């Protein structure tokens, strides 16, 4: 009889097998030239872009989150836009030379990367992580969210086959199919793994940071958007509603609460309503708050990435059929006000504050309640206000006069295009950047001597020759002893 293994054991064994196979493939791939590497990654980007629509539909159908056409756009961004941003980056051989300083820098891969991917953006995250990993001549093994295994496996297959057709070794890109917590832990801690690149919920990120490997993790993003009295109000309203409704708000940089400067708050409400925002009354807000969150404050999975109409049905309330975003008035932040939390669905909070200083304080309060280090958006024309927000806010992405969702990932700004947005030390991470190829590339340095040794050589006293101990001479003087020795030597020579 053949042995039957339970799911956890199968998952652990698969993790070990994929990690070792990836390590073997990466050792071969590490010797690829820049031209060979770029040929492989370009083929992958093209294959991902061509499959963007189909993968978007697969992700929506499997997870139930978001909008297929919006997922298509994210897949196109994660393939073509990401590739265009890293295409000219040197990662193999000599990548920089500074003759004035006598330093030559040589690109070196990290090794095997573990890619943890979320259910909210499964296909786009795999496309993006595959490209930035292989551009630096790494291998990558994905551990997908259990609710997004099929679309994750298909995305990985597309990227792996494209890489192999372009000359990459088999096993360089892989994805676990038997998902369990023990299996994912085995993969993260495996001896063949060099680094973890984690995108997902807080528990996943904590596990990545506890695995005993270097890890880039992403914290939650309770993103405030401040609208100043100096802002272009119609444009701000357009950006906010379209950003929050994009893919039903499953990107972690989407707006979570509007903080409106009181003199323009009424106008902002009207403009937002014109674009499909529906302001709910207190009873509806309370019903949404009860339905959206678990007791620990995290979103119930079934409400993530849903339309206002779906949320209304789940919550037992009525909303218009043309509503694109539900907006609730709030006046405080904290556990007693659940809609002040991060909401990975089409619900926004709305605060009114008098002046930018009060608005600043409210934004800081929201970030501290669940978005430290992540993202903040500001709509304003007053440069002093914009700079004050840049200097004071505990967020490492402050996007100005653009949609937070698109601006933070680098779609409507010139930030590095990325689907992993790190939160720095204040958010529990080791980087505050949009994670891209340079974070997965090690650098060797040849450093030529430019200056002499700073300490002058000191003259050391010469050791004095050691005189032999006095020899017993039987009463002869030293001169007589020397004469006897000379005579004996002469006699010996004469006898030869």
Ordered structural domains, the chain, with CATH:
7-218+437-446 (3.40.605.10), 223-410 (3.40.309.10)
Q: Which two tokens stand for residue 94?
A: 């000599």
If one compares 101 and 464, the residue with the highest pLDDT of the two is: 101
Query: Could you report the per-residue pLDDT of 424-463, keeping only the tens digit for each?
Result: 888 888 899 999 999 999 999 999 998 888 887 666 666 6
> CA-CA distance, 328 to 331, in Å (whole number)?
10
Residue 393 near residue 173, CB atoms below 8 Å = no
If one compares 478 and 252, the residue with the highest pLDDT of the two is: 252
Question: Quick check: 481 pLDDT over 70?
Answer: no
Q: pLDDT-derived band of residue 325, with 50, 70 and 90 as boundaries?
A: very high
Could you give the residue numbers annotated as active site? 252
The mean per-residue pLDDT over the stretch 207-229 comes to 88
The mean per-residue pLDDT over the stretch 20-28 comes to 97
The mean per-residue pLDDT over the stretch 15-38 comes to 97
What are the phi and psi torsion angles at 97 (to 5°)? -140, 125
Residue 172 near residue 29, CB atoms below 8 Å = yes
Which percentage of the chain shows pLDDT scores above 90? 80
> CA-CA distance, 403 to 75, in Å (whole number)?
18
Residue 120 near residue 344, CB atoms below 8 Å = yes
Q: pLDDT-derived band of residue 296, with 50, 70 and 90 as boundaries?
A: confident
Tell me the three state secondary structure of residue 196.
Answer: strand
Q: Which of 164-168, 285-289, 492-496 has the lowest mean pLDDT?
A: 492-496
Question: Quick check: 1 pLDDT over 50?
Answer: no
What confidence score (pLDDT) does residue 72 get?
97
């Amino acid at each position: 009889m053949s042995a039957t293994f339970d799911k956890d054991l199968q998952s652990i064994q698969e993790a070990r097998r994929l990690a070792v196979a990836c390590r073997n493939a990466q050792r071969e791939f590490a010797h690829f030239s820049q031209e060979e590497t770029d040929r492989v990654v370009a083929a992958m980007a093209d294959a991902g872009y061509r499959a963007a629509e189909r993968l978007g539909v697969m992700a929506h159908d499997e997870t139930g989150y978001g909008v297929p056409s919006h997922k298509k756009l994210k897949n196109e961004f994660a393939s073509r836009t990401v590739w265009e941003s890293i295409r000219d980056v040197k990662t193999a051989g000599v990548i920089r030379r500074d003759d004035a300083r006598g330093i030559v820098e040589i690109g070196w891969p990290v090794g095997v990367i573990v890619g943890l991917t979320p259910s909210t953006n499964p296909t786009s995250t795999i496309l993006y992580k595959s490209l930035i990993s292989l551009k630096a001549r790494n291998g990558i093994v994905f551990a997908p969210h259990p609710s997004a295994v099929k679309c994750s496996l298909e995305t990985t297959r597309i990227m792996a086959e494209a890489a192999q057709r372009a000359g990459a070794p088999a096993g360089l890109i892989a994805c676990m199919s038997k998902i369990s917590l023990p299996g994912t832990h085995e993969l993260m801690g495996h001896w063949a793994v060099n680094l973890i690149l984690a995108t997902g919920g807080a528990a996943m990120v904590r596990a990545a940071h506890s695995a005993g490997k270097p890890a880039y993790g992403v914290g939650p993003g309770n993103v405030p958007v401040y609208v100043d009295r100096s802002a272009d109000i119609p444009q701000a309203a357009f950006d906010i509603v379209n950003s929050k409704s994009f893919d039903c708000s499953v990107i972690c940089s989407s707006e979570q609460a509007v903080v409106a400067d009181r003199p323009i708050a009424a106008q902002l409400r009207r403009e937002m309503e014109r674009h499909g925002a529906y302001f709910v009354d207190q009873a509806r807000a309370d019903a949404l708050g009860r339905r959206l969150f678990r007791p620990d404050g995290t979103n119930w999975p079934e409400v993530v990435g849903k339309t206002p109409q779906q949320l209304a049905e789940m919550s037992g309330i009525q909303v218009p059929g043309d509503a694109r975003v539900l907006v609730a008035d709030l006046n405080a932040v904290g556990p007693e006000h659940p809609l002040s939390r991060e909401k990975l669905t089409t619900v926004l909070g709305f605060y009114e504050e008098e002046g930018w200083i009060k608005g600043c304080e409210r934004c800081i309060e929201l970030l501290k309640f669940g978005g430290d280090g992540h993202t903040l958006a500001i709509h304003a024309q007053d440069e002093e206000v914009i700079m004050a927000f840049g200097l004071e806010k505990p967020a490492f992405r402050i996007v100005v006069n653009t949609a937070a969702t698109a601006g933070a990932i680098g779609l409507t700004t010139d930030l590095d295009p990325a689907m992993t947005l790190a939160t720095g030390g204040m958010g529990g991470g080791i980087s505050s950047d949009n994670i891209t190829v340079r974070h997965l590339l090690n650098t060797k340095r040849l450093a030529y001597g430019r200056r002499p040794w700073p300490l002058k050589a000191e003259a050391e006293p010469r050791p004095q020759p050691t005189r032999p101990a006095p020899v017993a001479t039987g009463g002869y003087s030293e001169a007589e002893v020397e004469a006897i020795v000379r005579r004996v030597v002469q006699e010996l020579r004469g006898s030869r």
